[in-house]
Amino acid sequence: MSKKNLNIITIDGPAGSGKSTVARHIADKLGWAHLNTGAIYRAFALLLDRFFTEGSQNLEDLTEEIILKIIVNINSFYSQDDIKHKIFLKSEDITAQLHSPKISQLASVYAQNELVRKYLLPIQRKLVEKYEGVVVDGRDMGTVVFPVAPLKIYLTANSETRARRRLAELQMQNVNVNFDTLLKDLEERDLRDSTRKIAPSKPADDAIIIDSSSNSIDDVVTQILHRFNQI
């Protein structure tokens, strides 16, 4: 990795821990870009969902040939609008479609696949290259994708708090979902993401663990910026 990649802050953590919001705030304060890698896994899941015919979506159907077809599209057409926080595939704005409960679960299911992770890894590294500094958020940013990052955060919170935050976010996007279903989905996804064989969601050995259950997003941002100024 080039020296430029040292201007990276990684923020990993479970669903709804506030990592994307925190990452965006930090990027804004530092004048850096923000790469939300969950959105890449979600875009992959959305494209795959479109590709498969109804009723045949399961991991066994996922051949390398199909993965490569989808990856070509992600590689050539995926982009994030840092200012408006929108995600595009070619000129299609897919932001609203990425956060449905179905795509959340599919992204987590397909993220277990070794080949999916193998092909998405270089795409994530390439996406940050054009920026002076980037805050990246996901599950394996500090452990696998950017292990040389000088500041690594693992942001967590209890599952009720995370489900409440997710509910508020989804309501703002006009996605209709009930709290108990959301909590169950989130816990199911966390278990899958943290126990999978490849790149499980976990703090890097040198990560700073922050529990945001009783801290506001602003407090967490301040805490991370303070750490950043010390390195």
Which residues make up the interface to ligand DC (CB under 6 A)? Answer: 15, 37-38, 41-42, 107-108, 111, 138-140, 189, 193
If the CB atoms of residues 42 and 152 are measured against ligand DC, the closer one turns out to be 42
Q: Taking the complex as a whole, how short is the minimal distance between the CB of residue 140 and ligand DC, in angstroms? A: 5
If the CB atoms of residues 42 and 165 are measured against ligand DC, the closer one turns out to be 42
> How does DSSP classify residue 150?
S
State the Cα–Cα distance between residues 132 and 140, nearest whole angstrom.
21
Q: Taking the complex as a whole, how short is the minimal distance between the CB of residue 171 and ligand DC, in angstroms? A: 17
If the CB atoms of residues 32 and 44 are measured against ligand DC, the closer one turns out to be 44
What's 106-119 look like in SS3?
Answer: HHHHHCCCHHHHHH
Q: Taking the complex as a whole, how short is the minimal distance between the CB of residue 5 and ligand DC, in angstroms? A: 16
Residue pair 159/79 in contact (Cβ under 8 Å)? The answer is no
Is residue 103 classed as helix, strand or coil in its secondary structure?
A: helix
Q: Taking the complex as a whole, how short is the minimal distance between the CB of residue 229 and ligand DC, in angstroms? A: 26
Contacts of 212 (CB under 8 A, 6+ apart): 17, 18, 22, 155, 156, 157, 161, 219, 220
If the CB atoms of residues 79 and 226 are measured against ligand DC, the closer one turns out to be 79
